[in-house]
């Protein structure tokens, strides 16, 4: 239970139920449950907290879908949804009711089990990430000491879910989407993980709570290149433009979820939008100092950071055209991967250069002045690196050799 | 060891978000690469050519509206020019100027649609499209002043136009002419130098001059290959001989050139409209032509430079009030014939963009 100790809500509720009878608890009172029933207290409290978090998160996701559609409307010179409820705020509710009341169809030729399992898998995976994200001071489900590894491991199941949906639908557009998913999602995992390594080196821990606490100055100042790579590869991971190959509407209709309707489609939709929020949450935790911030409560700061990042994702979606699939792949391997490697080695070298061993042998520490120096150096390297690589690596189609001189109109007339 | 793979045949369309209507392509893919493409059309066939044989010459104008329904003005113009050639009618000066103004505005509107939908095909989620529609609305407002309709206009008549432009049209047109260049600058700034757009379109689906000429391709698709062929210059009709304008040309004949040439042509169209507004003088707008035109026995072919290419109408008269034969040379249909050559070897994503860059309109392809 060590990973739950920092969770204030859990401790209080657990005390209420189990009291002093629980081992190693110091509640100073008797619990409601008799001794020997601590396992029930543990299960009940765990369920209650998970339920609370999921409900809050679902509500947040619903609001986010509304926000995205509304903002897209504004970006496009439209109004956006404004009919259901005040300012159209009930639009997601109306959408959910509509999707829930639709008939659940399994197309002929589809693999029944995989077809029905895929949307569930997608959603479950998305929610599992929530377990380790600290939403505020002492507000998380679990403070795993391998939190970052957990996130990376769990989100890569995503590719499997998309591939299952694509294969099981028995539709050729879905198959295209599934094939693209395997290629893209696995490729972008590599630069994404590399970009986190810099953060891990600086923080010296895989626990998300400890990473936030380690941020003397926010890591986006120390890891500008890492942040850039992470944001780009995360937007490819969660299938956002300009890398929305998996469901590229103008090319493969709806990609892997072409054959899905009703709430099964709704689950994909939910997972996709929830992914934006969880990813924003991870970025806020790793790079933007998580919940920390002056004056306002920690939860407010965290939400503000998450929605600021979500806004940027919406902005990008409203602005950029899609990259072709081979260019998407080339971008990951030729552009992001070398930059990620440069970032890792640069951070490691700086730690060797600036860092000094603490007396207690608790790892490497840096003085604040050194950190600011590092920030300046890293920003310079980021600008030069991105600039140099965008000149070195061209994704453009090579021009064909110049053909024969063109006839003039006069000759033809 | 090489991996074994099998080609997959996919029906792209007629129900597909990006086939610009009910167009169908049977494509054989090897992974994402196109091995073979076979266009199938006819899903929007309405028998316009046969219907015209049962209608009077004036009534046929409404049928031409529905060919390329985003460029009704130029359809009207091509048709009434054919009628005038057949009946030997000379429209008055002011009528011709009004026709040219309307036609050039229509060209801008059509190119705006083409640009917007091309960007939509590229995956820029509706934003450029909405920007383009914003300006197209202004042009439709101007059309509404001219003839009361916005899409199916039927503004032109045999021997001139339906009515003179109202008073409020001219100030509105001047405001539009003053503002539109800034909007075009905005497209240039936002689109032409966008790295993703350039990466996606430069050097992709190249059409050579020979291929284009062999396929009778006309319009921006031909000019993008670098071949200077614009009927307004080569075979001037109406008042095009009296206005100065350039014919923008591409160089490589790739998707980027086809996209860029439309933006350049919008600027030239604005130039033409400006000069027409300066040159137009008061006078009648319509020649004295009876409501039931009865051209003498004979035939006539007339062609104009439509927004999508050479739009021609061939009319045969047997001396009655209705055409004996009515044949449309629609640029969308003929430009589609080179699609297969442009697609093979490219990828699924390029296919949609290439189709968008040809700028077809199914109403015109299937008639």
- Please give the ipTM for the structure prediction: 0.82
Q: What SS3 class is residue B362? A: helix
- Taking CA–CA distances from A394, the nearest residue in chain B reads B199
A319/B198 touch (CB, cutoff 8 Å), yes or no: no
Predicted confidence pLDDT, tens digits, chain A (413 residues): 555 666 667 777 777 776 665 555 566 666 677 666 777 777 787 788 888 888 888 888 988 999 998 998 988 888 888 888 888 888 888 888 988 898 888 888 888 888 888 888 888 888 888 888 888 777 777 777 888 888 888 888 888 888 888 888 888 888 888 888 888 888 898 999 999 998 888 888 888 888 888 887 888 888 888 899 999 998 888 888 888 877 777 778 888 888 888 888 888 888 888 889 999 989 998 888 878 778 888 888 888 899 999 999 999 888 888 888 888 888 888 888 999 998 898 888 888 777 766 655 556 667 777 778 888 888 888 888 888 888 887 777 776 655 545 555 555 54
| CA–CA separation, A255 and B316 (whole Å) | 50
- Chain B neighbors of A242, CB-CB under 8 A: 123, 196
Name chain A contacts of B117, Cβ cutoff 8 Å.
none
Which of B194, B213, B349 faces A251 most closely, judged by CB atoms? B349
Q: How far is B174 from chain A (nearest CA, A)?
A: 24
Asked if A67 and A314 touch (Cβ cutoff 8 Å), the reply is yes
CB contact at 8 A, A139 and A300: no
Q: Do A173 and B10 touch (CB under 8 A)?
A: yes
Domain B58-356 adopts which CATH fold?
Cytochrome-c3 Hydrogenase; chain B (1.10.645)
β-sheet bridge partners, residue B156: B161
Which residues of chain A are within 8 Å of residue B124 when distances are taken between CB atoms?
319-322
Integer angstrom CA distances of residue A255 from A164, A249, A395, B185, B335: 12, 7, 24, 35, 29
Residue with tokens 């893919």: B29
DSSP letter string, B298-318: EEEEEEEEETTEEEEEEEEE-
Do B27 and B351 touch, CB atoms closer than 8 A? yes
What Rg value do the Cα atoms of chain B yield, rounded?
21
CA A192 to chain centre: 10
Token pair 């086809």 is found at B258
A259 reaches B (C-beta below 8 A): no
**Nearest Cβ partner for B198 among A76, A248, A396:** A396
Which candidate, B158, B192, B194, places its Cα nearest to that of B292? B158
Provide the edge-to-edge strand list for the sheet that holds B325-329.
B298-306, B309-317, B325-329
Q: How confident is the model at residue A413, as a pLDDT? A: 46
The DSSP code for B164 is: P
Count of positions (residues) in chain A: 413
Distance CA A147, CA B46 (A): 63
Q: Do B123 and A250 touch (CB under 8 A)?
A: yes
Cis peptide before B213 (omega within 30 of 0): no
> For chain A, which residues make up each domain, given as ranges?
102-392
φ, ψ at B275 (rounded to 5°): -65, -40
CA dihedral sign of residues B185, B190, B193, B198:
negative
Between CA B194 and CA B113 the distance in angstroms is 19
Per-residue pLDDT tens for A90-108?
888 888 898 889 888 888 8
* Paired tokens of A51: 């339920």
Chain B residue with minimum CA distance to A314: B125
- Mind listing the pLDDT tens digit for each residue in B226-280? 888 888 888 888 888 888 888 888 888 888 888 889 998 999 999 999 998 888 8
Under an 8 A CB cutoff, do B209 and A407 touch? yes
Q: Which of A68, A169, A184, A251 best probes binding to B when mutated, by most B CB atoms within 10 angstroms?
A: A251
Q: Contact, B156 vs B74, CB < 8 A?
A: no
Q: Quickly tell me which residue has 């911030």 as its tokens.
A: A293
Pull the structure tokens for residue A76: 């496009």
Q: Establish if A72 touches chain B: CB-CB under 8 angstroms.
A: yes
Closest-CA residue to B106 (of B148, B74, B67): B74
Could you tell me which of A308, A412, A100 has the C-alpha nearest to residue B213? A412
A247 and A238 in contact (C-beta within 8 Å)?
A: no
Q: How far is B125 from chain A (nearest CA, A)?
A: 6
Q: Which two three-digit tokens encode residue A205?
A: 């821990």
Instruction: Give the minimum alpha-carbon distance from B74 to chain A in angstroms, rounded to a whole number.
Output: 24
Percentages of chain A per state (helix, strand, coil), in multiples of 5: 70, 0, 30
Q: Is A89 exposed, middle or buried (0-12, 13-18, 19+ CB in 10 A)?
A: middle
Residue with tokens 């994402």: B32
Report phi then psi at B97, rounded to 5. -65, -45
Asked if the C-beta of A76 comes within 8 angstroms of chain B's C-beta atoms, the answer is: yes
Torsion angle defined by CA atoms of residues A183, A189, A194 and A200, in that order, rounded to the nearest 10 degrees? -170
Q: Which residue has the tokens 């300012």?
A: A87
- Nearest Cα neighbor of B161 from B292, B56, B73 is B73
Which residues in chain B are contacts of A175 at CB distance < 8 A? 8
Alpha carbons A123 and A127: distance in angstroms, whole number? 6
Given CB atoms, is A242 within the 8 Å cutoff of chain B?
Answer: yes
Tell me the β-bridge partners of B33. B30, B347
| Helix (H), strand (E) at residue A93 | helix A91-100
In chain B, % of residues over pLDDT 70: 100
Q: Is B350 helix (H, G, I), strand (E, B) or coil?
A: helix
Residues of chain A in contact with residue B228, where contact means CB-CB under 8 angstroms, are: 408-409
The three state secondary structure string of A145-190 is CCHHHHHHHHHCHHHHHHHHHHHHCCCHHHHHHHHHHHHHHHHHHH
Which chain B residues are within 8 Å of A244, Cβ to Cβ?
Answer: 123
d(CA A21, CA A50): 24
Across B310-321, average pLDDT: 89
Q: Are A178 and A216 in contact (CB under 8 A)?
A: no
Which helix (H) or strand (E) segment holds residue B181: the answer is helix B169-187
**Among the residues of A248-395, which ranges form H helices?**
249-252, 262-287, 298-319, 325-330, 337-354, 368-392
Prediction pTM value? 0.85
Comparing CB atoms, the residue among A248, A407, A413 nearest residue B123 is: A248
- Among B216, B248, B349, which would you mutate to test the A interface (most chain A Cβ atoms within 10 Å of its Cβ)? B349
Nearest C-alpha in B relative to A76 = B127
- Would you state the torsion angle of the CA atoms of residues A95, A100, A104, A107, taken in this order, to the nearest 10 degrees? 20
By C-alpha distance, which of A292, A310, A295, A364 is closest to A134? A292
Question: What confidence tens digit (pLDDT) does each residue in B88-131 have?
Answer: 888 888 888 999 999 999 999 999 999 888 888 888 878 888 88
Q: What is the pLDDT of residue B140?
A: 92
Rounded to whole angstroms, how far apart are CA atoms B72 and A301? Answer: 56
Give the DSSP per-residue string, B93-138: HHHHHHHHHHHHHHHHHHHHHHHHHHHHHHT--SHHHHHHHHHHHH
In sequence order, which residues have a C-beta less than 8 Å from that of residue A49 and are 6 or more positions away? A7, A9, A10, A13, A141
3-state secondary structure of A212: helix
Beta carbons of A403 and B134 less than 8 Å apart: no
In chain A, residues with a C-beta closer than 8 Å to the C-beta of B18 are 249-251
Chain A environment of B197 (Cβ under 8 Å): 321
C-alpha to C-alpha distance for A310 and A68, rounded to whole angstroms = 9
- Say yes or no for a CB contact (<8 Å) between B130 and A76: yes
Give the number of other CB atoms < 10 A from CB of residue B152: 14
């Amino acid at each position: 239970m060590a990973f739950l100790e920092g969770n204030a809500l859990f401790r209080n509720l657990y005390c209420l139920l189990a009291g002093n009878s629980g081992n190693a608890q110091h509640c100073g009172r008797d619990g409601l449950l008799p001794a020997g029933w601590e396992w029930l207290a543990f299960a009940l409290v765990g369920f209650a907290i998970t339920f609370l978090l999921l409900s809050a998160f679902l509500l947040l996701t619903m609001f986010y879908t509304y926000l995205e559609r509304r903002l897209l409307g504004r970006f496009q010179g439209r109004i956006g949804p404004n009919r259901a409820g005040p300012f159209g705020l009930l639009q997601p509710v109306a959408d959910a009711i509509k999707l829930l009341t639709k008939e659940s169809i399994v197309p002929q030729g589809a693999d029944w089990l995989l077809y029905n399992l895929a949307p569930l898998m997608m959603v479950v995976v998305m929610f599992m990430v929530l377990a380790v994200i600290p939403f505020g001071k002492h507000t998380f489900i679990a403070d795993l000491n391998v939190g970052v590894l957990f996130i990376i491991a769990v989100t890569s199941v995503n590719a499997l879910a998309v591939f299952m949906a694509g294969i099981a639908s028995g539709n050729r557009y879905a198959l295209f989407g599934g094939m693209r998913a395997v290629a893209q999602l696995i490729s972008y995992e590599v630069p994404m993980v590399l970009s986190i390594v810099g953060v891990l080196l600086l923080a010296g821990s895989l626990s998300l709570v400890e990473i936030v606490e380690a941020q003397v100055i926010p890591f986006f100042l120390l890891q500008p290149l890492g942040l850039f790579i992470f944001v780009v590869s995360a937007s490819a991971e969660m299938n956002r433009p300009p890398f929305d190959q998996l469901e590229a509407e103008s090319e493969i209709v709806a990609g892997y979820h072409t054959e899905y309707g009703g709430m099964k489609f709704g689950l994909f939709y939910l997972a996709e939008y929830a992914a934006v929020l969880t990813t924003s949450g991870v970025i806020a935790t790793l790079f933007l100092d998580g919940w920390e911030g002056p004056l306002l409560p920690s939860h407010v700061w965290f939400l503000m950071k998450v929605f600021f990042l979500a806004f940027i994702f919406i902005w990008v979606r409203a602005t950029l055209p899609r990259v072709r699939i081979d260019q998407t792949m080339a971008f990951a391997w030729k552009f992001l991967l070398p930059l990620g490697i440069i970032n890792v080695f640069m951070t490691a070298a700086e730690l060797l250069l600036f860092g000094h061993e603490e007396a207690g042998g608790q790892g490497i520490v840096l003085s604040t002045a050194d950190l600011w120096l590092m920030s300046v150096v890293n920003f310079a390297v980021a600008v030069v690196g991105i600039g140099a690589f965008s000149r070195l690596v061209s994704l453009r189609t090579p021009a064909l050799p110049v053909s024969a001189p063109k006839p003039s109109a006069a000759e033809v007339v | 060891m090489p991996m074994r793979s099998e080609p997959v045949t996919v029906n792209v369309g007629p129900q597909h978000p990006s086939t610009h209507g009910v167009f169908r392509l049977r494509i054989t893919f090897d992974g994402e690469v196109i091995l073979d493409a076979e266009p199938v059309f006819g899903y929007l066939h309405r028998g316009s050519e046969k219907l015209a044989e049962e209608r009077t010459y004036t009534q046929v104008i409404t049928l031409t509206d529905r060919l390329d329904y985003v460029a009704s003005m130029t359809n009207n113009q091509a048709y009434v020019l054919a009628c005038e050639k057949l009946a030997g009618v000379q429209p008055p000066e002011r009528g011709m100027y009004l026709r040219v103004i309307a036609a050039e505005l229509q060209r801008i509107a059509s190119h705006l649609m083409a640009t917007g939908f091309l960007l939509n095909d590229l995956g820029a989620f509706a934003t450029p499209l909405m920007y383009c529609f914003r300006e197209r609305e202004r042009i439709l407002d101007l059309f509404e002043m001219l003839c009361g309709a916005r899409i199916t206009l039927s503004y032109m008549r045999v021997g001139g136009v339906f009515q003179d432009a109202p008073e409020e049209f001219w100030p509105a047109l001047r405001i539009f002419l003053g503002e539109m260049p800034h909007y075009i600058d905005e497209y240039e700034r936002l689109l032409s130098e966008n790295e993703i757009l350039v990466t996606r379109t430069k050097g992709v689906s190249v059409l050579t001059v020979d291929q284009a000429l062999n396929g009778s391709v006309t319009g921006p698709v031909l000019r993008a290959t670098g071949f200077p062929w614009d009927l307004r210059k080569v075979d001037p009709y109406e008042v095009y001989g009296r206005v100065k304008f350039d014919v923008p040309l591409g160089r490589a004949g790739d998707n980027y050139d086809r996209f860029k040439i439309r933006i350049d042509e919008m600027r030239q169209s604005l130039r033409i409209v400006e000069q027409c507004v300066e040159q137009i003088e008061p006078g009648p707008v319509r020649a004295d032509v009876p409501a039931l035109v009865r051209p003498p026995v004979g035939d006539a072919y007339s062609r104009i430079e439509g927004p999508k290419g050479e739009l021609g109408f061939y009319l045969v008269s047997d001396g009655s009030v209705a055409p004996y034969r009515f044949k449309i040379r629609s640029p969308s249909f003929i430009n589609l014939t080179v699609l297969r050559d442009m697609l093979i070897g490219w990828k699924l994503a390029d296919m949609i963009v290439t189709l968008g860059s040809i700028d077809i309109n199914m109403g015109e392809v299937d008639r």
